[in-house]
Amino acid sequence: MSVFIDKETRVLVQGITGSEGSYWTRHMIDLGTNVVAGVTPGKGGIEVEGVKVYNTVQQAVTATQADAAVLFVPPKFAYDAIFETLDAGIRKIVVTAEGIPLHETMMVRTAALARGAIVIGGNTTGVITPGVAMMGFLPYWIDRVYKPGRVGVMTRSGSLTNEATAMMVEAGFGVSSLIGIGGDAVPFTRFAEMLPAFEADPETDAVLIIGELGGTMEEEVAAAIQSGIFTKPLVAFIAGRNAPVGKKMGHAGAIISGGKGTVAGKASALRAAGALVADRPSQIGELFRTVFNQKQ
């Protein structure tokens, strides 16, 4: 079972004829993803990496019954591309673009929630069920980092995810499903909103959260644990403990404002809810040993 993508998921790639779209389509196919269609307006009828291209999402869905989409389109086109996908009936969408205007992000999030859709991103490297399928642009050496296992992963980071997950895998624990929530200030989907999927997944025994300073998503995870929405063990690492107050660090969402969003505050809330919090990535494997020893 997967919380987002499996071998049966029929994936459509928007922007497939661009350099990024075509490159990562080949990589997704190599990793087992069932890519059934591509969409680029005006390019309908050609093939990219053996995948037929259509002019519109609706044409592609009608012809192939695609039920998920990954978007390799620039930020200024993302809003229209997402709504075209939602209007065609697709309810699983991964958006890689970084820096989508905030008001557009909010409108997309509102529309997705109203339609029961899950939109991942923006500014995400994607999602993966290791050994099964991937949507996004996780690197070619991914099979050395993301080994199949029973730990779900959710993250706001890209490169830090590789490091943190590698520490976990080195300790002997693999990944069931990984969701890159994304690093923009307002993600389309939040950590706590994906927790019920990991809670229900029989192939996930615990979850790793890779967070950052700024925002309140990690505190929302703590509240979900305290309310009983999520009951499985959870380990967290939160980056940015040495960041100066009021200064954005890397991602658009990584900024402390109004005294909220500090690493210390997030760590305190998670620990109070019963989660284990690593002070550095090298502690993650050790904490999962503790988790699974307690379960046994």
**Would you name the residues annotated as active-site residues?**
251
Q: What whole-number distance in Å separates Cα of residue 42 and Cα of residue 236?
A: 45
Q: What is the CA radius of gyration of the chain?
A: 19
Here the contacts of 198-201 (C-beta below 8 Å, separation 24 or greater) are: 198/3, 198/152, 198/154, 198/230, 198/232, 199/229, 199/230, 199/231, 199/232, 201/1, 201/2, 201/3, 201/152, 201/176, 201/177
At 219, list the tokens: 């505190």
Q: Which amino acid is at 75?
A: P
Here the contacts of 224-230 (C-beta below 8 Å, separation 24 or greater) are: 224/192, 224/195, 225/270, 225/273, 225/274, 225/275, 226/272, 226/273, 229/192, 229/195, 229/196, 229/199, 230/195, 230/196, 230/198, 230/199
H helical segments located in the chain: 19-30, 57-64, 75-87, 102-115, 159-170, 191-200, 217-226, 263-273, 284-295
Beta-carbon contacts of 26 under 8 Å, excluding residues fewer than 6 positions away, are 49
At 130, list the tokens: 């290791």
